[in-house]
Amino acid sequence: MTSIRLKTPHNGEYDQPTGLFINNEFVKGVDGKTFEVINPTDETVICSVHEATEKDVDIAVSAARKAFEGAWRKETPENRGRLLVKLADLFEQHAEDLAAVESLDNGKAISMAKGDVAASAGCLRYYGGWADKIEGKVVDTTPDTFNYIKKEPIGVCGQIIPWNFPLLMWSWKIGPAVACGNTVVLKTAEQTPLSALYAAKLIKEAGFPPGVINVVSGFGKVAGAAIASHMDVDKVAFTGSTVVGRQVMKAAAGSNLKKVTLELGGKSPNIVFEDADIDNAISWVNFGIYFNHGQCCCAGSRVYVQESIYDKFIQKFKERAEQNAVGDPFHHETFQGPQVSQLQFDRIMGYIEDGKKAGAVVETGGKRIGDKGFFIEPTIFTNVTEDMKIVQEEIFGPVCTVSKFKTKEEAIKIGNNTNYGLAAAVHTTNLNTAIEVSNALRAGTVWVNSYNTLHWQLPFGGFKQSGHGRELGEAALNNYTETKTVSIRLGDALFG
Ligand code: NAI
Ligand code: MG
């Protein structure tokens, strides 16, 4: 069986594929293995899905290779775009089910899951628009040569995605890869395989030729490692932890030197100046850290507030954080659901304990909510020093630290005091401060008077140890194309 009927809360019901999606069919793994998918809200088993091992990765890569050399190579850019736009339309038609399965499997609040589905469709449609606009150029060098530079697909792309935005990461990866004419073997995170398999069903319905997009469920050390070290995968794109990002890069270097792009962690500073609109700033700081339960690579987890407004800020921010509705992700007013897994829950609680031991003060939160499901109170730490683990390391949960600064120079210095460089924000009503500070911050995205407002038209990615390459926007096309120079010798003059 490679599909089951699943019920969602509030009387929803739908067909959930459980197989590996290879060559447009849902199949069992060669070794017949399966693994359980857990509902983080109540810790029950939702269902089991088929697990890919190295052998299945081989089969999926062969399918992708065949499609790349065959049908997909012959497809016109116009039709590649048309298929992506069709897929985006199907996402919108199936939005209710997709959002429900995302909330069920990941635990994210249903209102946020709906936003993810809309953004996934937006991203796929955007890259559909790019498919027939990937152009080269002509370069004149000497009079007896005619040179043109063209962009070609890289080939078979392995894509390894995390569990925090299962559908959105699926779309960020598949959209640009396919628009540029590549074929794909995508591995989902073992914690959240369901929405990606549902979306795979839509790939077939959209009319993509078999083998162009293959989606497998499986574990990092097995299927993920097999993709990263595969000799017939031309490129690997990875989103996840910095530790695994390094392993992926090593695996690429140790195998066929496949191209690598990485979108890794962050410890992003959120800087509030005394001239900011304080209520507005607090709303964005709150959203910056607690959105998606703090499980965002770009989470604004280090909050720095200018001295003169610090006390007022803490009091208001604490009140704001305590108002966040935490609970059942299927309730429409819920803002924060459970963390994704027992492991992540334990990691976060470990950081909270560590912060307390190091002498930081818990202004609010710090505890588990209930005894079933992985719920954690929105947590604010104060009285922190820059060397504390909770200030230096990515917690990936609803936990932030707040400290003071005096001057703009100091804000820039502590803002940059991290190995990461994914995102940052500045809250101020002074245009000079906004521009000066955002110029000085070493981060791939800087928000001014907002936070987490990503858009598929805008590049996203990391400085420093937050990664390699940029996703989204026109920039992502660079991740998925090779540049070819063709130099034609004119006339019949002999060399020498
Ligand atoms: P992870 O990095 O282990 O998992 C991400 C993906 O990599 C998953 O699909 C996993 O199966 C795969 N993977 C794991 N080991 C692999 C290997 N050796 N070769 C190839 N693929 C492999 O992240 P994990 O353990 O789920 O979360 C740990 C921490 O990572 C989080 O607490 C957070 O700090 C960070 N993280 C960052 C994300 C981001 O968006 N940048 C997303 C998820 C986690
Ligand atoms: Mg892991």
Q: How confident is the model at residue 52 (pLDDT cuts 50, 70, 90)?
A: very high
244, 249, 260, best to mutate for ligand 1 pocket (most atoms within 8 Å of CB) = 244
pLDDT > 90? residue 495: no
Provide the token pair at 172. 């960020």
> What pLDDT shows up at residue 10?
79
- Residue 11 CA to ligand 2 center (angstroms) comes to 33
Distances (CA, A) of 198 to 102, 123, 301: 10, 17, 33
Q: Is residue 438 a contact partner of residue 448, using CB atoms and an 8 Å limit?
A: yes
37, 106, 160, 452, best to mutate for ligand 1 pocket (most atoms within 8 Å of CB) = 160
Q: Is residue 191 a contact partner of residue 163, using CB atoms and an 8 Å limit?
A: yes
Q: Is residue 60 a contact partner of residue 214, using CB atoms and an 8 Å limit?
A: yes
pLDDT > 80? residue 493: no
Taken in order 297, 302, 306, 309, the sign of the CA dihedral is: positive
Q: How confident is the model at residue 8 (pLDDT cuts 50, 70, 90)?
A: confident
Q: What is the pLDDT of residues 168-201, one digit of tens each?
A: 999 999 999 999 999 999 999 999 999 999 999 9
Share of the chain above pLDDT 90, in %: 98
Which atom number of ligand 1 is nearest to the Cα of residue 245? 2
Taking Cα atoms as reference points, which of 479, 482, 490, 423 lies closest to residue 451?
A: 423
> What pLDDT shows up at residue 1?
85
Q: How confident is the model at residue 164 (pLDDT cuts 50, 70, 90)?
A: very high
Distances (CA, A) of 310 to 401, 409, 441: 13, 17, 22
Give the span between the Cα atoms of 480 and 42, in whole angstroms: 40
Q: What is the pLDDT of residues 395-445, one digit of tens each?
A: 999 999 999 999 999 999 999 999 999 999 999 999 999 999 999 999 999
Provide the token pair at 107. 């635990």
Can 263 be counted among the known catalytic residues? yes
Give the span between the Cα atoms of 207 and 314, in whole angstroms: 54
Ligand 1 surroundings by CB, under 6 angstroms: 160-164, 187, 189-190, 219-221, 224-225, 228, 239-241, 244, 247-248, 263-265, 297, 344, 347, 394, 396
Provide the token pair at 406. 């005096």
The domains of the chain, with CATH numbers, are 3-264+462-483 (3.40.605.10), 269-448 (3.40.309.10)
Mean pLDDT, residues 465-492 taken together: 96
Q: What is the pLDDT of residues 335-367, one digit of tens each?
A: 999 999 999 999 999 999 999 999 999 999 999
Q: What are phi and psi of 347, to 5 degrees?
A: -60, -45
Mean pLDDT, residues 55-60 taken together: 98
Give the span between the Cα atoms of 294 and 398, in whole angstroms: 4
- Residue 220 CA to ligand 2 center (angstroms) comes to 7
pLDDT > 80? residue 241: yes
Taking Cα atoms as reference points, which of 269, 266, 255 lies closest to residue 396?
A: 266
Give the span between the Cα atoms of 410 and 273, in whole angstroms: 12
- Residue 240 CA to ligand 2 center (angstroms) comes to 8
Q: What is the pLDDT of residues 393-409, one digit of tens each?
A: 999 999 999 999 999 99
> What pLDDT shows up at residue 475?
98
- Residue 275 CA to ligand 2 center (angstroms) comes to 42
> What pLDDT shows up at residue 426?
98
Taking Cα atoms as reference points, which of 395, 375, 172, 407 lies closest to residue 267?
A: 395
Burial of 475 (0-12, 13-18, 19+ CB in 10 A): middle
pLDDT > 90? residue 141: yes
Partner residues linked to 200 by β-bridges: none
Q: Please tell me the number of the ligand nearest to residue 346's CA.
A: 1
For the whole model, what pTM was predicted?
0.98
Provide the token pair at 484. 């070819």
pLDDT > 70? residue 496: no
pLDDT > 90? residue 238: yes
Q: Please tell me the number of the ligand nearest to residue 188's CA.
A: 1
